[in-house]
Structure 1
């Protein structure tokens, strides 16, 4: 199927809907950064048509000329309803939310509420590269608490890091990536409860980036603010990753009961950044795009199995553990002997663009991140190219 004028059925895998030729007509970052002979499996964009409810909502808004400034609480209400049905989280209070331009801008604004210039922010490396870029730009010190070998939060390491960071003076925050990018780890309720307890013990404020939450199995995902002991926590959520809406800017900051007064001090100008059409799109996704999302999750699960089989056949030296969440695959390429930046080799020799693991901080050398959110034929072609290049 490859018609751009016909909607796909809710139960049809959207990853199989578009051909490579159609995808190359796109002008977004993923498809614009490299020459046409390169397969782009790097930046977190999905190679899918939009869910029909989103197309309809955006089309109706544009036809109506409803392209002014963002207003209202429909987005927050839609997220609260989605969270209650999807995760059993019934305490997401609309009055304790604020609209922000996107998740990373929201992270910056939340960290401004709980830290000051020069203060320390703890992250679990290897982790999403913009964490380093944005934190450094806002004059915060990045402190790493590396994940364990199993890609899970090492609570002993986290406790030691909190202890050292707070002993140095100033305020300390913990930027939690949940689900984790690039590993796809879904943190358990027990792990998040331990995080909350450690944060309270050491006086560390938690800001949770939960942008990939819709891509986790709904029966396994635990929103951070749903865990006891997280009343002073702050979270950022969005429909961006689950429904491929990065170009339609809108996200929500959510405060626990103990952080509501701080969230209320968010400067008014922050709410001017989101796109009104973006808000409409995200609201439609959360309200009416769940069937499409479930079909996507099934397709991603199939792609993870496919990737594992392809690596076992063609690149057995690459270590890969299929993740529970996200559409990202974390590849351990150290046994290939390609040095710290195997992604550079595969780009040059195989014409496959991956994301360089070094950019994810400690634990990223010798690794590469592969975007699985594409047609299975493209995944297959990419691995065969990579194997041939060796």
Structure 2
């Protein structure tokens, strides 16, 4: 499977449209959690206007008063068409999908289908912090199989973990983050096929969180987990929310491999009653007509990724940063700066820049911070300059 290249969209870089003054008028968590003197580069919201097709679809729905309950399969149909065109993958069988309220709600519902209370759910830290909270609240045990030193899945660690969590005959699942949040790692077809083979060998059910799937920044293609050999019993959740900045218009699509169709069919009716109808409309429009906007965004994110590397080399040369192949998130190794286990607290208190604390991402998070570079070049530049000054004031080896 190869990534299908895109032509220049002719659209403006969405990251360079809104001024800082305009952004500070927003009332979302990103812009209201901290005081106005803080540059927020933390939660997964981008500093972009919405794609025009999304605005048009939502505006039309509001004008009609079309704000009732969600129904139908149009979001899944739009995802199927997008996957076929974008990833050259015809594997989204609409009859094996279900619309769910959002990605994490979908993940929880799928885990309920394939595990029981007390069963283990394997995760690969450093990884999206809500995995720990949602799985724990579900009364399942989080078991870590950390990424390797290269930031990639380690087959030996994974197999050993699979063996341990199933040796007493209990069921187990693997909550796979693909692409990986916070590292931006894009799992290869070979790596995913290895996961599928090991999971089948040990009777582990894989549930893939593929929320960042459309955000392949470089030339490396995104590979859907359900597209690899051996993943027929796998399950996945996809959404347009991350790529088109639709966290406030939530919806997601749960997908089942051919051998998991009966599992998905057991999804209770109430699990599909919660999607936001306007969110479904927005996400359908994004997947159907929002590709030119997405392409312009990806070009902008590629430039931001390069800019971030240059800024770190200039202002924080002690930080190790391995650019990821997907997402608008950067995983910063700040251990050489001497800022302690939570460098984000230093950058906030002394630099007035908000990042996500590394320790919340599980094993391997100490001394790290997650930075969201889905913002303008001006904001990113000022933020890294502030971080450099903060590290210097703290006595770190900037």
With the shorter chain as reference, the TM-score category is over 0.9
Deviations 1:313-343 (A, max 9, x none): 1100000011110000000000000110000
Native 8 Å contact 2:186 2:220 kept in 1: no
Structural mapping, 1:1-390, within 5 Å: 10-217=10-217, 220-389=221-390, 390=392
Rounded Cα–Cα distance in structure 2 between residues aligned with 1:373 and 1:133: 25
TM-score when normalising by structure 1: 0.97
State the secondary structure of the residue aligned to 2:324. coil
State the secondary structure of the residue aligned to 2:365. coil
Native 8 Å contact 2:341 2:367 kept in 1: yes
Deviations 1:247-283 (A, max 9, x none): 0010010001111111111111111111100000000
How far residue 11 of structure 1 moved from its aligned partner, in angstroms, is 2.3
How far residue 170 of structure 1 moved from its aligned partner, in angstroms, is 1.4
State the secondary structure of the residue aligned to 2:236. strand
Structure 2 residues not aligned, in runs of 5+: 1-8, 393-398
Native 8 Å contact 2:319 2:332 kept in 1: yes
How far residue 10 of structure 1 moved from its aligned partner, in angstroms, is 4.9
How far residue 15 of structure 1 moved from its aligned partner, in angstroms, is 0.2
Rounded Cα–Cα distance in structure 2 between residues aligned with 1:118 and 1:10: 52
State the secondary structure of the residue aligned to 2:148. coil
State the secondary structure of the residue aligned to 2:174. strand
Rounded Cα–Cα distance in structure 2 between residues aligned with 1:249 and 1:186: 24
Rounded Cα–Cα distance in structure 2 between residues aligned with 1:40 and 1:244: 16
How far residue 219 of structure 1 moved from its aligned partner, in angstroms, is 5.6
Native 8 Å contact 1:310 1:380 kept in 2: yes
Rounded Cα–Cα distance in structure 1 between residues aligned with 2:48 and 2:260: 37
State the secondary structure of the residue aligned to 2:86. helix
Native 8 Å contact 1:327 1:372 kept in 2: yes
Structure 1 residues not aligned, in runs of 5+: 1-8
Deviates more, 1:71-80 or 1:213-222: 213-222
Native 8 Å contact 2:220 2:325 kept in 1: no
Q: CA 1:305–1:63 in 2, change beyond 3 Å: closer, same or farther? A: same
Q: 1:3 — aligned with what? A: none
Native 8 Å contact 1:87 1:219 kept in 2: no
Rounded Cα–Cα distance in structure 1 between residues aligned with 2:168 and 2:335: 35
How far residue 168 of structure 1 moved from its aligned partner, in angstroms, is 3.5
State the secondary structure of the residue aligned to 2:293. helix
